[in-house]
Amino acid sequence: MENQYTPPNIWTHDTESGGKWASINRPVSGSTHEKTLPVGKHALQLYSMGTPNGQKITIMLEELLALGKDAEYDAHMINIGEGEQFSSGFVAANPNSKIPALVDHSNELAEPIFESASILVYLAEKFNALLPEKGIKRTQVFNWLFWVHGAAPYLGGGFGHFYSYAPEKFEYPINRFTMEVKRQLDLLDKQLAKNEFIAGDELSIVDIATWPWYGNLVLGYLYDAKEFLQVDDYTHLQRWAKAMADRPSVQRGRIINRTWGEPWEQLENRHSAEDVDKVLALKLK
């Protein structure tokens, strides 16, 4: 207990010892600089980054296109590491300064939509896809959608932060968040033992919302924690994660607004299907 922390009477923001993301996190909202967001040629304009929350929307849009829906879109990179989420343009799209944000210019008011779950529901209702119209099946999707929207911060902001990003390794928070993440993995595994997809026998927005976090995690794409978390024990979750990863929409959506990884995993901005095709073709070469 020699290094036990005693909170001060009044908290102050420490930008020196907070780890990788300390310089861009602030205790206040609002913009830090003036910058207008770019606008492409399509009605749907996405402002995002290829993190798990960002992947939800690009995977959704690619799935809609695969279903034959008129869901063409431009996806513009918002580099959160460079503080681009604090521009005046982005804050106008999302006052919470978090990716993703969507603007639909086919809507007369062109009001922005933010929060990934809200965007998924908006797109599902706009294109009448991946969300049951009514009844208990719709409720089941919302059950699990609200669950993952509340659960993922424990995985990303909790486990991921202390296991991967914190400047020092601290046993207590790692143990605390590991226990919760493993409980979540066990919950998903048991649900998927009974169902092909999370909310039943059909793909829905909840699978698209969940895979970028928990699918990436158990397949080893997130935090490099497969052995630590013993993810191979969750056989039903593994089955679902691999099946989702084989979907063309996932393979396409996961590379958009991304500037890290292999060359065939990086597409900074997307304006057409051909943009994605060219990047994925690099893997074949």
Q: Summarize pLDDT for 3-61 with one digit per residue, the tens.
A: 788 999 999 988 766 666 666 788 999 999 999 999 999 999 999 999 999 999 999 99
Backbone φ and ψ of 103, nearest 5°: -120, 125
Share of the chain above pLDDT 90, in %: 90
Q: What is the DSSP secondary-structure string of the chain?
A: -TT-----SS-----SSS-TTGGG--SS-S-SB--PPP--SSSEEEEE-SSHHHHHHHHHHHHHHHTT----EEEEE--GGGTGGGBHHHHHH-TT--S-EEEETTSTT--EEESHHHHHHHHHHHHT-SS-SSHHHHHHHHHHHHHHHHHHHIIIIIIIIIIIISSS--HHHHHHHHHHHHHHHHHHHHHHHH-SBTTBSS--HHHHHHIIIIIHHHTT-STT-HHHHTGGG-HHHHHHHHHHHTSHHHHHHTTBTB-SSSGGG-BS-B-SHHHHHHHHHHHH-
279 with 243, same domain: the answer is: no
4 or 104: which leads in pLDDT? 104
Per-residue model confidence (pLDDT) at position 18: 63
Residue whose token pair is 């065939």:
264
What is the model's pLDDT at position 3? Answer: 72
Same domain for 245 and 157: yes
Cβ neighbors of 251 (< 8 A, separation 6 or more) are 245, 280
Please count the residues of the chain.
285
What's the CA gap between 169 and 21, in Å, rounded?
16
The answer to the question of residue 161 being in a domain is yes
Judgement on whether residues 94 and 164 belong to the same structural domain of the protein: no
| Shared domain check, 183 and 146 | yes
pLDDT score at 22: 67
Per-residue pLDDT at 98 exceeds 80:
yes
Q: What is the pLDDT of residues 106-152, one digit of tens each?
A: 988 889 999 999 999 999 999 999 999 999 999 999 999 999 999 99
Say if 1 falls within a structural domain: no
Mean pLDDT computed over every residue of the chain: 95
**One domain, residues 245 and 110:** no
Q: CATH number, domain at 196? A: 1.20.1050.10
Domain that holds residue 22: 13-130+255-285
Higher pLDDT, 284 or 35: 35
With respect to residue 37, please indicate whether it lies within any of the assigned structural domains.
yes
Residue 7 lies in a domain: no
pLDDT classification of 285: cutoffs 50, 70, 90: confident
Does 5 fall in a domain? no
pLDDT at 185: 98
Identify the band that residue 222 occupies on the pLDDT scale cut at 50, 70 and 90: very high
Domain check: are 274 and 208 in the same one? no
**Co-location of 42 and 114 in the same domain:** yes
Statement to judge: residues 221 and 268 lie in one domain: no
Residues 99 and 171 in one domain: no
Please determine, for residue 1, whether its predicted confidence score (pLDDT) is greater than 60.
no
Please compute the mean of the pLDDT values over residues 84-112 and round it to a whole number: 96
- Please give the tally of structural domains in the chain: 2
**What CA dihedral angle connects 183, 188, 194 and 200, to 10 degrees?**
140
Same domain assignment for residues 23 and 118 = yes
